[in-house]
Chains A and B, each alone.
Chain A
Amino acid sequence: MVAYSHPSQSGPCRILSFDKEKCVGCNSCVNVCPSDVMMPHPERGREPIVVFAEECWYCGGCVEECPHGALTLVTPAKQRLSTVWMRKETGEEFRVGMKNPLPPNLTPPSGNR
């Protein structure tokens, strides 16, 4: 096993998760990002590289832009921990990023486009 020395970022640096099965390396996400936090991978067809993670403002524009649904915006841990809800009927507590997730709520947003 090889290790490399590199600076350790103080904030979250794995802010985007790419589904490698779905990503075709089209770089739509790279090009739409207002803060230019990613760069194209030097190898064609590969998922982009997140270089300036701490400059992301979590707008989700990249996720909306991805034509293949390959991209997930990863909420920072401290915010996963602060987005908490309670099921009224049972009193159970849940949060974003919980260990045993609930089934997703599939209700689409309001609006027809």
Chain B
Amino acid sequence: MNWHEYVAETGKVPQWPYELGYDKETVVSCDVLVVGGGVAGCRAAISARQRGVSVVVMDRGFSKRSGEGGAGVDHWHGAVTNPCSKVTPRMYSEAAMDTTDGFTNGLARYVIGKEGYDTLLEVEKMGVQIRDEDDEYKGSIFRDDETKLMFAYDIENKHCLRIYGYNIKPCVDREMRRLGVQVFDRTCVTSLLTEGGRQGARVIGATGVNDRTGEFIVVKAKAVIISAGRTNRLWGFAPELTESQSMCNLNQTALGNTIGWRAGAEFVGMEMSGRAVLSGLGYAPYSTGNNNNTYQGAPTVDRNGKDVYYANAYGKLLYDEADIFKASDENSFIIGHGIGLDNGYKPQYRITTTDPELWKKVMAGEYEQPFYNDMTKLPATSRRMIFGLMLAHEGKCRVPIYQNLTKWGFDPDKDLLQYPVQDYSRFPIDTSWCGPENTPANWRGGGGGYLVDWRLQTSLPGLFAAGCGPIFGHGCHGESHTSGRYSGRQAALYARQNEAVEPDADQIRRERERCYAPIRTNGDVGWKELNYAIAKIMQDYCGDYKTEYTLDMGIRRMNDLYETEGQRMYASNPHELVRAIESLSLCELGIAYMEAAKARRGSVKGLGFFRNDYPEYDEAQKKLIPISLKDGQVHTRDLSLYYHLEAPYSSDLEENYQQFAALDI
């Protein structure tokens, strides 16, 4: 029942069902603490635990389903060492660097290339189907008959695999708990503990607050892994309107990054932000006609049944299904979508997409809206692969899309799925459910993350990063499993080599006081009201238009909000208290984004970064600008985009990997 029904039935407001523990403090010690129990965090915990160290996971939700990858996955990027693949780890890393002009993470991409397929094989052992075991797709152009592996995006190079991952998180979670990892569910991390309580010192634990009981949790650890860094509430916040459109849930406040920022870690790429198409005002993900991503290869027709064709990256129309899954340059490969490289795919790496002249043809009357997916035109196996496999297993699709549509009678063998009627002039029709028409231009999503070394260690000793939010220039679901698994190994090694350090009691006391202020104060500002205001500042001062002057204004506004309304918050129960803590942390994160945008005094294409007071694109801006807090002051420096191949490292990817991958741990 819903809350209103309960009130109508009983005449009472329901009491908080969990015992309140605002004055309770639980303290535990472990070798490795993992902050964030999504796919990266769970894989990190498993790989650390397999090496015999004790592991604690702090998860904001419930690790069986939490995190962006908690709702499933249909294809796995970076499986480049699978027996069918023609792509090598070196090609994968170099292509990612090439297509972004160096503004991605070359070392993380190499690690992912080296270990992505092995990481997937472990998931198979945990109970996830990754092959066409029942020969349902025998003879399909997407399948290798010997291994029964199936390929997405590029059927010649075969490095991205289609998998049956609707149950992937429960499988990974079960394995993690079987191995004896201690999980603090429903626990929002609030701060990192550092040696002597000093900014910039070794990380030795973290604090958190439980969203049911409100109790305070202190975890002491020899090494800490951050795997909670995606944000969905900074520029765009309107949960009453966005409903299920979002691909990022409200728990995602990048707290894993904010606590590192406060602790003094270096970040890169934070100045980058792009239109937040995934968290905007669109449609339920995957619920409308599409021809991209999960729907790649689905034919499109207009209202009169006239075919709309795919085109390669050079605009050549493609009439054969097999050609849609081939690179536009025969000497290259399609990297694939959704792995954080979307700022500018060069044509040789791009997926095939809609006829680029389509909108012109609509305006000339050659096509009439609405468009439809007509999957009846496909061979039966291809149709089944899109709807029965991809749409039944992709994140947030099993229940909201597959079960919902079939329950109401949709049948891809007979029915055409309608695209939204809208202005498609600014993009080739692809993921229509989250196209830019649906999202205001100043609703943005932030990029960037921790600067990491070849061990995925951050600039703070003992602090490691995993997954697509925390690591700058990192991809999505499968890649997060892989970097998680790698960082778990590294943190286990660090924990073996370093003694535990007792945290500073004063640091813990100060953090407690900060966290419970909304309970004590019982002021007049709720978490949502504060969050709306934060988003407004980001939209106004960190949107498309940026100058030093306006960024300074934004930083001033955010500090003012934090110090004024932010100190007058209320929370009626632990759930609201934790949301309030999250909202307050977003003020700090917003400042970090604006400081980073201010620190880059120039515009640069590969990063998709434009400053109105430096309107010329500048070659000298092709560099990273690590930014951090030192003694509370913002500190920046310059760093080469290819730092992972320069001193003190080898200039060879494989040599670095062999030296740092901790393969014998």
Contacts and interface: CB of A to CB of B under 8 A. Distances in A.
Nearest to A58: B244
A110 B164 contact: yes
Interface in B1-31: 1-4, 6-8, 11, 14-17
Contacts of A39: 14, 16-17
A55 B143 CA distance: 40
Interface string A28-58: 0001111110011110001111111111111
B418 A85 contact: yes
A73 B401 CA distance: 11
A39 B3 CA distance: 10
Interface string A1-28: 0101010011111111010000000000
Interface in A63-104: 63-65, 73, 75-76, 78-79, 82-89, 94-98, 101-104
B133 interface: yes
Nearest to B164: A111
A73 B400 contact: yes
Contacts of B16: 39
How many residues of A sit at the interface, in one of the four size bands? 35 or more
Interface string B188-225: 00000000000000000000000110000000000000
Given A2-B11, A79-B287, A87-B415, A105 B575 contact: no
A85 B3 CA distance: 34
A51 B5 CA distance: 11
B2 A14 contact: yes
A104 B414 contact: no
Interface residues of B, number: 78
B251 A83 contact: no
A110 B392 contact: yes
Interface in B230-280: 239-241, 243-246, 248-251
A105 B409 contact: yes
Given A97-B408, A111-B389, A11 B396 contact: no
A64 B164 contact: no
A14 B71 CA distance: 21
A4 B70 contact: no
A88 B408 contact: no
Given A83-B288, A109-B392, A111-B164, A49 B133 contact: no
B393 A111 contact: yes
A4 B400 contact: no
B404 interface: yes
A68 B575 CA distance: 28
Nearest to B70: A34
B154 to A, nearest CB: 21
A104 B408 CA distance: 5
Interface string B390-418: 00110110111011111111110011111
B626 interface: no
B164 A60 contact: no
Contacts of B393: 109-111
A86 B136 CA distance: 27
A10 B411 CA distance: 34
A36 B212 contact: yes
Contacts of B287: 79, 82-83
Contacts of A106: 406
B658 to A, nearest CB: 37
Contacts of B340: none
Interface stretch (B60-68, B474-482, B514-522, B559-567): B60-68
B404 A64 contact: no
Nearest to A90: B414
Contacts of A76: 243-244
A49 B2 contact: yes
A47 B7 CA distance: 14
A89 B305 CA distance: 12
A59 B1 contact: no
Contacts of B376: 88
Contacts of A101: 408-409
Nearest to A106: B406
Contact of B246 (A13, A53, A57, A109): A57
A75 B16 CA distance: 27
B296 interface: no
Given A53-B2, A59-B65, A111-B129, A64 B398 contact: yes
* 5 pairs of A and B residues whose beta carbons are closest in the complex: A60-B399, A102-B409, A34-B61, A58-B244, A109-B392
27 contacts: A2-B8, A12-B243, A13-B2, A14-B2, A34-B67, A34-B251, A39-B17, A75-B284, A75-B400, A76-B243, A79-B245, A82-B284, A82-B420, A83-B287, A85-B410, A85-B415, A89-B414, A98-B408, A105-B405, A105-B410, A107-B388, A109-B166, A109-B392, A109-B393, A109-B402, A111-B166, A113-B127
Given A34-B251, A51-B3, 9 more contacts: A10-B240, A50-B3, A55-B239, A60-B400, A61-B64, A61-B399, A75-B244, A89-B414, A102-B409
Interface of B: 1-4, 6-8, 11, 14-17, 60-62, 64-67, 70-71, 127, 129, 133-134, 136, 164, 166-167, 186, 211-212, 239-241, 243-246, 248-251, 283-284, 287-288, 372, 374, 376, 384-385, 388-389, 392-393, 395-396, 398-400, 402-411, 414-418, 420, 575
